């Protein structure tokens, strides 16, 4: 696939996406979004616009609401106020709208969440077969293609319990990609992994970013943010505190809270 | 100081400090005790029976029983043998157990899922059901259904009459009995053809899904065929079926099929009681599937129904099956409470009347215990086979 791009907005890679207006139009719009857990105000007045093919990294201290935020984008969490529009569909209580958004948005979880009763290949084919109604042969061929891309085609007939954490997470990425999503959400994909396995997962994510996929990643991997992100978003206390291109974000943070956070994580 | 030798094995402990020697010793002692206990029991029984002049052996099974039984699935009358009473009791036990297992499973799954409903009322009603039913002794519940509910129904002359065909009174529920006439073979053919067609459609639909991805509404079409084809063949054959309607003859009803209140009370009580336990098992099974699984499935765009069917239930089943097995075993064994209300099950008939009349305690008790053991082991066997099929493979 395509090579990693640093200036995504100026060099739209038309061949990698069916959409002709990559990098121009918005694919996600979040406007004045609030969320409460009971009395607890988790997300406060969030506004974010993501364009086709943009790579966004969301970071922040734990409890800052960053995971909750990206889980709102495929409605694993409900928001109580404001608007979320994904690929021209607004997320409301309407289950048909929710399902249609979820079909176009892939998600990778911290704890992989592979289905333990199905083989790797079956994990990858489940949704294409039942939701996209793809013929099994075709679904399996697509799945093998993506398993090759994440470099574990030889594990296709094993069960998730027989794989290492890094392998499981790569299967999870392949599983999400098999639905041919327009957007990929990553919720701390490397946080549950042993250090030597983090790299194999990040390599896959970097390769994916290079192919022009719209990505939102909640992660503490600052190296990853520097290499691939178009924008870095810093959240604290349920608010977006700062939003900047990675170079500016790491070398010249504006807000004191950002400066404090960066100091803590970059110290060692 | 002693001189140390390095060429030999490390010196072993004294034999009575060696765990392996100890293990063998205790096992030998245990086996000896078991054999001695068994020998004492058998010897004691035999000498006691000899001194009282009781003959041993299974010859009594061929003698005439001479007592009547109110309900029997196999042909029976008082002139038949004690051996026959065994079969009557066994089939009655199997009947109420099978009926109970089916209804308790269906009811238990429904209540277990309802208990997890996000609808407040549904969840609380299920909770109340479970807490009330499983905390009242089963015997009490059997008495409740038998004496409080079914016995307070009107007498046969004042029966609850539904359309002149169904009658409910304190002697039981009477329903029309279908009597097949000439030409009913065509209807049987229709039923078989419908079943074959549904199986064929299932195979075809599966193949088509593999090939083209299109999902065929197998269930709806299958149900339609199963109903329509036999009904059509019934009318084509000129309605070759007559109903033997129950009718009041003297003080009671004759004709039709009757379900005696003893069976109904036992069946209802066993089903409701066991269902409350199954409901809790189902609930814990579903809760044992981590929330991440549901989330992953939803994130892949699978709607709620498919998430439950393809992701949650297959994983919940492996947690549900082992305790479900022991509930089935409990239900079968609890059915022996039939004695209390006079339902003629194996214990009431064989270990009750037959034992009293023959006095062959050792033989009768041994046979009855062996039967329950066999039923239980068979249930366990089948459930274990099923469990192995749904188990999750790791490493």
What residues contact B310, with CB distance under 8 A and at least 6 apart? A126, A130, B297, B302
| Residue B136 domain flag | yes
What gap in Å lies between CA A226 and CA A206, rounded to an integer?
Answer: 11
B295 chain-A contacts, CB cut-off 8 A: 76, 109, 113
Q: Do A133 and B213 touch (CB under 8 A)?
A: yes
Instruction: Report how many domains make up chain A.
Output: 1
Compare CB distances from B394 to A107, A109, A161 and report the shortest one's residue.
Answer: A161
Instruction: Report how many domains make up chain B.
Output: 1
What residues contact A161, with CB distance under 8 A and at least 6 apart? A116, B392, B393, B394, B395
Give the three-class secondary structure for B54: coil
| Residue A194 domain flag | yes
Q: What is the CATH number of the domain that holds A211?
A: 3.40.50.300
The β-bridge partners of A86 are A28, A89
What residues contact A186, with CB distance under 8 A and at least 6 apart? A70, A107, A108, A205, A215, A216, A217, A218, A219
Q: Which residues of B touch A (CB under 8 A)?
A: 209-215, 290, 292-293, 295-304, 306, 310-311, 314-315, 318, 390, 392-395
Q: What is the CATH number of the domain that holds B377?
A: 1.10.3720.10
What residues contact B113, with CB distance under 8 A and at least 6 apart? B282, B283, B286
The β-bridge partners of A59 are A234
pLDDT at B5: 54
* Statement: residue A16 has pLDDT above 80: no
Query: What's the gap between Cα A257 and its chain centre?
Result: 25
Residue A116 or residue B179, greater confidence: A116
The β-bridge partners of A34 are A81
CA distance B310 to chain A (A): 9
pLDDT at B3: 55
A105 chain-B contacts, CB cut-off 8 A: 299
Q: Do B210 and A127 touch (CB under 8 A)?
A: no
Q: CA torsion, points A190, A192, A195, A201, in degrees to nearest 10?
A: -30
CA torsion sign for B284, B285, B291, B297 is negative
| Residue A261 domain flag | yes
Per-residue pLDDT band for A208 (boundaries 50, 70, 90) equals very high
Domain that holds residue B298: 82-149+260-390
Per-residue pLDDT band for A2 (boundaries 50, 70, 90) equals very low
Q: Do A162 and B215 touch (CB under 8 A)?
A: no
Give B308's DSSP letter.
I
What gap in Å lies between CA A188 and CA A40, rounded to an integer?
Answer: 23
pLDDT at A41: 93
CA distance B120 to chain A (A): 18
Average pLDDT, rounded, for chain A: 87
| Residue B314 domain flag | yes
How large is the ipTM?
A: 0.86
Q: Do B299 and A130 touch (CB under 8 A)?
A: no
pLDDT at A24: 60
Contact B348, B338 (CB under 8 A): yes
Per-residue pLDDT band for A234 (boundaries 50, 70, 90) equals very high
Mutation choice for A interface testing from B296, B308, B311, B387 by most A CBs within 10 A: B296
Among candidates B264, B257, B273, which has minimal Cα distance to B341? Answer: B264
What gap in Å lies between CA A214 and CA B385, rounded to an integer?
Answer: 47
Mutation choice for B interface testing from A117, A141, A158, A186 by most B CBs within 10 A: A117
Domain that holds residue A242: 26-65+78-266
| Residue B302 domain flag | yes
| Residue A166 domain flag | yes
Q: Do A127 and B300 touch (CB under 8 A)?
A: yes
* Statement: residue A6 has pLDDT above 70: no
Q: B76: phi > 0 → left, psi -120 to 50 → alpha, else beta; which?
A: beta
pLDDT (tens digit per residue) in A159-195: 999 999 999 999 999 999 999 999 999 999 999 898 8
| Residue A12 domain flag | no
Distances (CA, A) of B125 to B137, B141, B176: 20, 19, 35
Give B158's DSSP letter.
G
Question: Going residue by residue through chain B (395 aa), what tens digit of pLDDT does each one get?
Answer: 555 555 666 777 788 888 888 999 999 999 999 999 999 998 998 888 888 877 778 888 888 888 888 888 888 888 889 999 999 999 999 999 999 999 999 999 999 999 988 899 999 999 999 999 999 999 999 999 999 988 888 888 888 888 777 888 888 888 888 887 777 888 888 889 889 999 998 888 888 887 877 778 888 888 888 888 888 888 888 777 788 888 777 777 777 788 888 999 999 999 999 999 999 999 999 999 999 999 999 999 999 889 988 999 889 988 899 899 999 999 999 999 999 999 999 999 999 998 888 888 888 999 999 999 999 999 999 988 888 887 766 54
Question: What pTM value is reported for the model?
Answer: 0.75
Chain B, nearest residue to A103 by Cα:
B301
């Amino acid at each position: 696939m395509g090579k990693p791009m640093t200036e995504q907005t100026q060099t739209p890679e038309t061949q990698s996406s069916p959409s002709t207006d990559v990098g121009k139009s918005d694919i996600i719009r979040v406007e004045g979004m609030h969320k409460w857990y009971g009395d607890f105000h988790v997300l406060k007045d969030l506004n974010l616009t993501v364009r086709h093919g943009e790579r966004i990294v969301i970071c922040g201290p734990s409890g800052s609401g960053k995971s909750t935020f990206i889980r709102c984008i495929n409605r694993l969490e409900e928001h109580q106020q404001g608007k979320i529009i994904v690929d021209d569909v607004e997320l409301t209580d309407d289950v048909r709208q929710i399902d249609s958004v979820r079909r176009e948005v892939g998600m990778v979880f911290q704890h992989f969440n592979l289905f333990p009763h199905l083989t790797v290949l079956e994990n990858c084919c489940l949704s294409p077969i039942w939701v996209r109604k793809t013929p099994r042969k075709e679904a399996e061929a697509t799945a093998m293609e993506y398993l090759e891309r994440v470099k574990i085609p030889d594990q296709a007939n094993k069960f998730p319990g027989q794989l290492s954490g890094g392998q499981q997470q790569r299967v999870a990425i392949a599983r999400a990609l098999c639905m041919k999503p327009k957007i990929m959400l990553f919720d701390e994909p490397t946080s549950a992994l042993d250090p030597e396995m983090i790299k194999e997962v990040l390599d896959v994510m970097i390769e994916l970013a290079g192919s022009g996929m719209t990505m939102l990643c909640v992660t503490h991997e600052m190296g990853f943010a520097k290499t691939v992100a178009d924008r870095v978003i810093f959240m604290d206390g349920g608010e977006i505190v700062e939003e900047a291109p990675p170079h500016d974000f790491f070398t010249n943070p504006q807000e004191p809270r950002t400066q404090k956070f960066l100091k803590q994580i970059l110290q060692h | 100081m002693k001189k140390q030798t390095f060429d030999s094995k490390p010196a072993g402990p004294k034999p009575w400090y060696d765990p392996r020697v100890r293990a063998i010793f205790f096992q030998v002692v245990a086996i000896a005790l078991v054999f001695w206990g068994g020998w004492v029991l058998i010897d004691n029984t035999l000498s006691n029976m000899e001194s009282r002049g009781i003959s041993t052996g299974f010859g009594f099974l061929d003698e005439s029983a001479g007592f009547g039984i109110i309900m029997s699935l196999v042909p029976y009358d008082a002139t038949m043998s004690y051996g026959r009473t065994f079969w009557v009791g066994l089939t009655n036990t199997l009947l109420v157990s099978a009926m109970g297992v089916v209804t308790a499973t269906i009811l238990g799954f429904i209540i277990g899922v309802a208990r997890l409903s996000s609808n407040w009322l549904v969840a609380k009603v299920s909770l109340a059901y479970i807490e009330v039913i499983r905390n009242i002794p089963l015997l009490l519940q059997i008495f409740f259904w038998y004496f409080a509910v079914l016995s307070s129904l009107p007498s046969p002359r004042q029966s609850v009459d539904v359309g002149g065909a169904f009658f409910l009174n304190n002697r039981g529920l009477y329903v029309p009995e279908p009597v097949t006439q000439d030409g009913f073979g065509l209807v049987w053919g229709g039923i078989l053809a419908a079943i074959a067609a549904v199986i064929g459609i299932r195979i075809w639909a599966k193949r088509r899904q593999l090939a083209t991805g299109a999902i065929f509404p197998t269930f709806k079409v299958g149900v339609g065929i199963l109903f329509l084809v036999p009904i059509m063949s019934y009318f084509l054959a000129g309605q070759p079926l007559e109903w033997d309607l129950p009718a009041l003859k003297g003080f009671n009803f004759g004709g039709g099929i009757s379900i005696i209140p003893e069976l109904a009370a036992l069946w209802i009580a066993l089903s409701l009681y066991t269902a409350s336990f199954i409901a809790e098992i189902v609930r814990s099974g579903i809760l044992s599937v981590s929330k991440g699984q549901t989330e992953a499935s939803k994130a892949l765009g699978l709607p709620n129904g498919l998430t439950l069917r393809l992701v949650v239930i297959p994983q919940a089943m492996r947690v549900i099956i082992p305790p479900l097995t022991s509930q089935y075993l409990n239900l079968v064994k609890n059915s022996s409470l039939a004695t209390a209300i006079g339902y003629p099950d194996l214990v009431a008939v064989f270990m009750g009347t037959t034992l009293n009349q023959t006095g062959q305690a050792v033989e009768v008790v041994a046979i009855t215990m062996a039967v329950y053991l066999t039923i239980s082991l068979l249930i366990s066997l089948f459930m274990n086979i099923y469990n192995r099929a749904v188990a999750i493979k790791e490493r």
